[in-house]
């Protein structure tokens, strides 16, 4: 892949990197690098970060890397991370790497809340925990504030988790991703300050002097083909029947793809959409079960009406969304569904998308589901743009 550098700041004085603003820093290091910790510290120590985020699976283990960074950077710097299905760094998409993002203490304040036992969905405990956490954090209303949610994809409870968070702290913009390791959908390592947080979702509240704005992009539109979920396992997110027919068989009929040719890539190209309000959200198919069901990455219930989606331009709309920001971002914390990346690979557009990710300074990872505007969605890019303050 051609090496791409982030776009230079425009010459217009309104868009120059403002003096006195401590900007975030992000970098990519090979996961197998023996000096991974030293490389990250070389960029982060001078920054005096309030938070270092790590995405990926370093060879020596995420918890070990987190512990070493936490010791070196001191107790005032929190180190949080998770495994991923792929990474997004300074050159765009990358694999077998670790992405490190540093938020400088001069411009950021961070609090961390672990929502434990995600698979057991203890909603009452989560609600009281989040309310206490928010009260103790005491956000400064003169500054921007947003949330980051790192969920365990294998727990399959993001819909309830996001709804609980939205009810406990209404009005707070939150973005995030569901993490699992690699395309094999293996257990993730959620980590805080070098300590593994097994079975937990991690919620971070971030306060900053910078301006912030949510960004989202999905490259699908609804078709006129619809299906009713007539049998489903809501707990395990499996559709057994569509239109009273075996789910995979009916999906193959709707798409015109032979049943034996259904693959993860085909599922990514032809998603199922669920309408909520005036918007359609993807209910992505992860795999076909051995007995002809469809395993999803989001919640599903019998009675849901689904619409077959069709792909539109996978890159132009992304650039439009970024160009709509009031100022060029210093960085965009991004969560991009792995199924979007698979569709781009199938279309031969990975390099083109990587150029855009680099141009708009996106850093993050590929997910098995995204959190945005109080919802858990799929096959979507969501992000939080960090921009110079308006006065600058």
pLDDT digits over 206-219, tens only? Answer: 999 999 999 998 88
- Show the tokens assigned to 206: 């971030």
Domain termination site, one of 311, 343, 368: 311
Write the pLDDT tens digit of every residue in 239-285.
Answer: 999 999 999 999 999 999 999 999 988 898 888 999 877 778 888 89
The average pLDDT across 44-65 equals 96
In a domain, 5, yes or no: no
In a domain, 293, yes or no: yes
CB atoms within 10 A of CB 4: 16
- Round to whole Å and give the CA distance between 13 and 211: 17
Q: Average pLDDT, whole number, for the chain?
A: 90
In a domain, 1, yes or no: no
Q: Are 69 and 42 in contact (CB under 8 A)?
A: no
Is residue 327 domain-shared with residue 211, that is, in the same domain?
yes
- For residue 110, the SS3 value is strand
Specify the residue for token string 């999905």: 218
- Show the tokens assigned to 152: 């365990």
The average pLDDT across 206-234 equals 93
- pLDDT for 12 equals 30
Considering only 178-187, 349-358, 359-368, which range has the smallest mean pLDDT?
178-187
- Round to whole Å and give the CA distance between 242 and 227: 6
- pLDDT for 261 equals 93
Q: Tally the domains of the chain.
A: 2
Write the pLDDT tens digit of every residue in 165-186.
Answer: 999 999 999 999 999 998 888 8
Most confident range (mean pLDDT) of 132-141, 294-303, 338-347 is 132-141
- pLDDT for 339 equals 87
Q: How confident is the model at residue 17 (pLDDT cuts 50, 70, 90)?
A: very low
Is residue 24 domain-shared with residue 154, that is, in the same domain?
yes
Is residue 192 domain-shared with residue 264, that is, in the same domain?
no
In a domain, 181, yes or no: yes
Is residue 302 domain-shared with residue 321, that is, in the same domain?
no
Is residue 185 domain-shared with residue 158, that is, in the same domain?
yes
Query: Given its phi and psi angles, is residue 379 left (phi above 0), alpha (psi -120 to 50 degrees) or beta?
Result: left
Residue 24 has pLDDT above 80, yes or no: yes
Is residue 290 domain-shared with residue 172, that is, in the same domain?
no
Write the pLDDT tens digit of every residue in 107-146.
Answer: 999 999 999 988 888 999 999 999 999 999 999 999 999 9
User: What residues make up the domain containing 297?
Assistant: 220-311
Is residue 303 domain-shared with residue 320, that is, in the same domain?
no
Query: Looking at residue 274, which CATH number applies to its domain?
Result: 2.40.30
Is residue 252 domain-shared with residue 331, that is, in the same domain?
no
Query: What is the pTM assigned to this prediction?
Result: 0.86
Share of the chain above pLDDT 90, in %: 72
The average pLDDT across 191-211 equals 95
Which of 145, 64, 124, 72 has its CA nearest to residue 98? 64
- pLDDT for 218 equals 84
- pLDDT for 94 equals 96
φ, ψ (nearest 5 deg) of residue 260: -70, -10
φ, ψ (nearest 5 deg) of residue 267: -60, -40
Q: Are 197 and 83 in contact (CB under 8 A)?
A: no
Sign of CA dihedral 307, 295, 232, 168: negative
Residue 305 has pLDDT above 90, yes or no: yes
- pLDDT for 391 equals 64
Is residue 22 domain-shared with residue 59, that is, in the same domain?
yes
Radius of gyration of the chain (CA): 21
Alpha carbon 30 to chain centroid distance? Answer: 21
- pLDDT for 188 equals 84
- pLDDT for 20 equals 62
Residue 220 or residue 46, greater confidence: 46
Is residue 273 domain-shared with residue 373, that is, in the same domain?
no
Domain termination site, one of 311, 344, 362: 311
Q: What is the DSSP letter of 257?
A: -
Q: What is the DSSP letter of 229?
A: E
Which of 356, 349, 314, 315 has its CA nearest to residue 332? 356
- Round to whole Å and give the CA distance between 294 and 249: 10
Is residue 141 domain-shared with residue 109, that is, in the same domain?
yes
Residue 102 or residue 219, greater confidence: 102
Q: How many CA atoms lie within 13 A of 108 on its CB side?
A: 29
- Round to whole Å and give the CA distance between 150 and 122: 17
φ, ψ (nearest 5 deg) of residue 62: -65, -40
């Amino acid at each position: 892949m051609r090496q791409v550098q982030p776009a230079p700041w425009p010459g217009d004085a309104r868009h120059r990197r403002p003096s006195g603003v401590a900007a975030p820093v992000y970098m990519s290091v090979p996961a197998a690098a023996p000096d991974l910790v030293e490389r990250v510290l070389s960029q982060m120590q001078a920054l005096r970060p309030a938070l270092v985020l790590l995405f990926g699976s370093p060879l020596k283990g995420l918890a070990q890397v987190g512990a070493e960074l936490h010791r070196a950077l001191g107790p005032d710097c929190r180190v949080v991370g998770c495994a991923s299905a792929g990474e997004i760094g300074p050159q765009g998409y990358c694999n077998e790497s670790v992405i490190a993002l540093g938020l400088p203490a001069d411009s950021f304040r961070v609090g961390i809340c672990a929502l434990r036992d995600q698979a057991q969905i203890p909603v009452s405990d989560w609600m009281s925990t989040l309310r206490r956490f928010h009260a103790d954090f005491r956000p400064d209303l003169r500054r921007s504030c947003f949330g980051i949610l790192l969920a365990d994809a294998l727990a399959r409870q993001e819909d309830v988790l996001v709804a609980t968070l939205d009810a406990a702290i209404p009005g707070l913009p939150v973005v995030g991703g569901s993490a699992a390791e690699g395309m094999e959908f293996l257990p993730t390592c959620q980590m805080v300050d070098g300590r593994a947080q097994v079975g937990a979702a991690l919620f971070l509240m971030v306060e900053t002097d910078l301006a912030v704005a949510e960004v989202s992009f999905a490259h699908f539109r609804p078709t006129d083909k619809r299906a009713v979920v007539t049998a489903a396992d809501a707990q395990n997110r499996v559709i057994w029947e569509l239109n009273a027919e075996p789910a995979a068989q009916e999906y193959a009929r709707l798409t015109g793809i032979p049943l034996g040719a259904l693959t993860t890539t085909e599922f990514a190209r032809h998603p199922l959409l669920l309408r909520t309000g005036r918007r359609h959200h993807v209910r992505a198919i992860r795999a076909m079960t051995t007995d002809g069901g469809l395993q999803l990455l989001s919640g599903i219930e019998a009675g849901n009406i689904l619409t077959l989606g069709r792909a539109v331009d996978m890159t132009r709309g992304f650039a439009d969304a970024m160009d709509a920001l009031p100022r060029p971002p210093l960085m965009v914390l991004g969560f991009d569904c792995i199924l979007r990346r698979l569709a781009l690979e199938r279309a031969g557009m990975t390099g083109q998308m990587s150029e855009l990710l680099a141009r708009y300074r996106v850093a993050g990872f590929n997910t098995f589901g995204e959190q945005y505007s109080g919802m858990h969605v799929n096959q979507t890019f969501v992000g939080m743009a960090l921009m110079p303050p308006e006065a600058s």
